[in-house]
Amino acid sequence: MFEEFRDSFTERLVELRMTKGASAREMSLSLGQSEGYIAQIERKHNLPSMTVFSYICEYLGVTPKDYFDYEQGHPALLQEMIKKIKSFNEDELESVMSLVDIIMKKKT
């Protein structure tokens, strides 16, 4: 069970880091760690402490909940969109919903 968790954790880290367009070295240094820190996690040699995990989430622009939502492909982008949408009035929300409906129909 631990191996499954570690594998999922590291796969998600790689996915989110690559989506952000950051190298493992760049991310490690941005977190104040040694240049090989993230690479060690991605190679399944280490797992971060809870404190460093919170810094990883902050760096990636995701919440811990989003990090573990493996079905959500672009959590940072989704979070940014939600922040903006929260300020919309009812007419604007209805317009966005109409656009989403159109896109969803095209997907099916």
Q: What is the pLDDT of residue 74?
A: 86
Q: What is the pLDDT of residue 78?
A: 87
Q: Domain map of the chain by residue range?
A: 2-107
User: Cβ neighbours of residue 8 under 8 Å, at least 6 residues apart?
Assistant: 70
Judge whether 37 and 31 are in contact, CB under 8 Å: yes
CA distance 78 to 106: 20
Q: What is the pLDDT of residue 75?
A: 86
Give pLDDT tens digits along the chain (108 positions).
888 999 999 999 999 999 999 999 999 999 999 999 999 999 999 999 999 999 999 999 999 999 999 888 888 888 889 999 999 999 999 999 999 999 999 887
Q: Is the pTM of this model over 0.85?
A: no
What is the DSSP secondary structure assignment for residue 68, as one 8-state letter? T
Tell me which CATH homologous superfamily contains domain 2-107: lambda repressor-like DNA-binding domains (1.10.260.40)
